[in-house]
Amino acid sequence: MITLDTYFDYVILPILSISALLVFIRLLKGPAVVDRVIALDLIITIGIGIITVYSIRMDQKVLLDVAIILALIAFLGTVAFSYYIEKQKDD
């Protein structure tokens, strides 16, 4: 009998972890700085997904507040990076 908890433990969370590892390879390799910026953005988005699954698995709905903050930080970080990358060319 497969319960939902074991399914989350052995299928969903490993898939998300492998995804984060694959994006981390791109973060290390990335030829340009913009590649690294979108890799960081995707890592934070995967983090939101991991937090959501973990809050379902542990039955802790308080953890969803952290996901809100992470979504905010990801957006602000990407916008700030793009703003300053564009400014840097002007000098």
Partner 1 sequence: MIEIIIGLISTIGALSILFASIGILRMPDFYLRLSVTVKASTLGVGLLLVCAAIVFPDVSVTTKAIAIFFFLLITAPIAGHMIARSAYFIGTPLWKGTIVDELAGMYNKETHELESDPDRIDPKEAIPNIASDDEKQED
Applying CB under 8 A, which residues contact partner 1? Answer: 3-4, 7-8, 11-12, 15-16, 18-20, 22-23, 25-26, 29, 31-32, 34-35, 37-39, 41-42, 45-46, 48-49, 52-53, 55-56, 61, 64-65, 67-68, 71-72, 74-75, 78-79, 81-83, 85-86, 88-89
CA 5/CA 31 separation, integer angstroms: 40
Residue whose entry in the numeric block shows the structure tokens 């390879």: 25
Smallest distance, partner 1 to C-beta of residue 25, A: 6
Q: How far is the first Cα of the chain from the last one, in angstroms, to the nearest whole number?
A: 64
The Cα–Cα gap between 48 and 13 comes to 12
